[in-house]
Amino acid sequence: MEFLKKNLANIVTLLRVFMTPLFVVFMVLSNTSTGFKYAALGVFAFGAVTDWFDGQIARRMNIVSQFGIMVDPLADRLFIGATLITLYVMGFIPLLFMVLVLGRDLLMVAGYPFVKKIDASKVAVHWTGKVATATLFVALGMLILSPRPGTGFQAGFNGYSFTTWSSWQTWGLWLFIVGAALSLLSGGVYVARVIQLLREEKEGNPGETAPAESTA
């Protein structure tokens, strides 16, 4: 029982990882039945809620761990990455949309070896990262509900509705653009902070500790 209490936040994070393939399966099966699309949306919503829930658990129960600080953002990247790739392959989003967010996330993952050289708890979450993640989750949920504009692997924007405001697709596409822009901005802020801390570590003058939730 004590183990469960101390690791509850991490268990919720790992649950999000295990739910990721289930979302992919439901989306693929949505080609045969609309019911699977709503099932996929349900799994996606669950993943989005746990992204917020695990951080709340860790802070309120005072069980923030080094494992959680490192694994939580990786779980987010895996969940969002799998969603983006699935939606792109099925034709729900154009190539550029997937590349923008996945490219940013891959750069962030590539930077984790540098983060290990410093105290990860000093890398505070910037508000742009929180807003970006929330916006992308809402946008992707809307795009899951939208009709497919083509047969998949869309490189351009032909067939995508950017002006039909009564469509889930229009709202989803524009919210995605906003979320992607904020995601790139938050990535820049995060990289700048890590570079600053690495410089301070090298000079033997560590910066002030800032509370961390995840590096979204």
Question: Long-range CB contacts (< 8 A, 24+ apart) of 202-209?
Answer: 206/119, 206/122, 207/122, 208/122, 209/119, 209/121, 209/122
Domains of the chain (ranges plus CATH)? 2-203 (1.20.120)
DSSP state of 93: S
Using alpha carbons only, give the angle 48, 54, 56 rounded to the nearest 5 degrees.
105
Beta strands in the chain (DSSP E): none
Give residue-wise pLDDT tens across range 57-78.
Answer: 767 777 666 666 667 777 888 8
Question: Which helix H or strand E contains 62, and what residues bound it?
Answer: none
Give residue-wise pLDDT tens across range 155-204.
Answer: 788 888 899 999 999 999 999 999 999 988 988 888 888 788 778 777 77
Q: pTM for the whole thing?
A: 0.80
DSSP letter for each residue of 66-87: HHHHHHHHHHHHHHHHHHHHHH
Give residue-wise pLDDT tens across range 73-117.
Answer: 778 888 989 999 999 999 899 999 999 999 888 877 776 666 666
DSSP letter for each residue of 123-154: SPPPHHHHHHHHHHHHHHHHHHHSPP-SSS--
